[in-house]
Amino acid sequence: MTRRVGIVSVAQGAGAESKDNFYDQAYRITKEVLEKAGITRDDLGTIVTASSDIFHGGISCANSYYWETTGAFLKNASRQDGESLFAFFYAVMRILSGQFDTALVMALCKGSENPPNDTCTLMFADPFYQRPVGLQETLAAALQMRLYLERYGITEEQCAQVAVKNLENALGNPYAHRKGRYTVEEILGSERLADPLTALQVAPKSEGMVAVLLASEEKARALTDKPVWFKGYGSSLDHFYLGDRDLLKGPLRDAAARAYRMAGIADPQKEIDLAEITEPYAFQELLWCEDLGLCGEGEGGKLIASGRTRRNGDLPVNPSGGVLANNPYVSRGLQRLVEAVLQIRGEAGERQVPKEVKTALAHGTHGFAGQCHAVAIVGIG
The residues binding another protein (CB under 8 A) are 1-2, 52-54, 58-68, 72-83, 86, 89-90, 92-99, 120-121, 123-124, 126-127, 234-240, 244, 251, 254-255, 258, 366-368, 371-372
Strand 76-80 versus strand 46-50 pairing type: parallel
* Closer of 1 and 199 to another protein (Cβ): 1
Q: How far is the CB of 79 from another protein (least distance, A)?
A: 5
* Closer of 93 and 199 to another protein (Cβ): 93
Q: How far is the CB of 288 from another protein (least distance, A)?
A: 18
* Closer of 235 and 335 to another protein (Cβ): 235
DSSP string, 111-172: GGGSPPHHHHHGGGS-TTTTGGGT--HHHHHHHHHHHHHHHH---HHHHHHHHHHHHHHGGG
Q: How far is the CB of 2 from another protein (least distance, A)?
A: 7
Q: How far is the CB of 313 from another protein (least distance, A)?
A: 31
* Closer of 131 and 358 to another protein (Cβ): 131
* Residue 246, amino acid: D
For the CA atoms of the chain, what is the radius of gyration? 19
Are the CB atoms for 255 and 373 separated by under 8 Å? yes
Cα-Cα end-to-end distance for the chain: 15
Q: Which H/E stretch holds residue 230?
A: strand 228-237
* Residue 62, amino acid: A
Q: How far is the CB of 305 from another protein (least distance, A)?
A: 32
Cα–Cα nearest to 166, from 333, 354, 287, 324: 324
* Closer of 49 and 343 to another protein (Cβ): 49
* Closer of 342 and 375 to another protein (Cβ): 375
* Closer of 244 and 267 to another protein (Cβ): 244
* Closer of 163 and 209 to another protein (Cβ): 209
Q: How far is the CB of 366 from another protein (least distance, A)?
A: 7
Q: How far is the CB of 120 from another protein (least distance, A)?
A: 7
* Closer of 81 and 156 to another protein (Cβ): 81
Q: How far is the CB of 64 from another protein (least distance, A)?
A: 4
Q: How far is the CB of 114 from another protein (least distance, A)?
A: 12
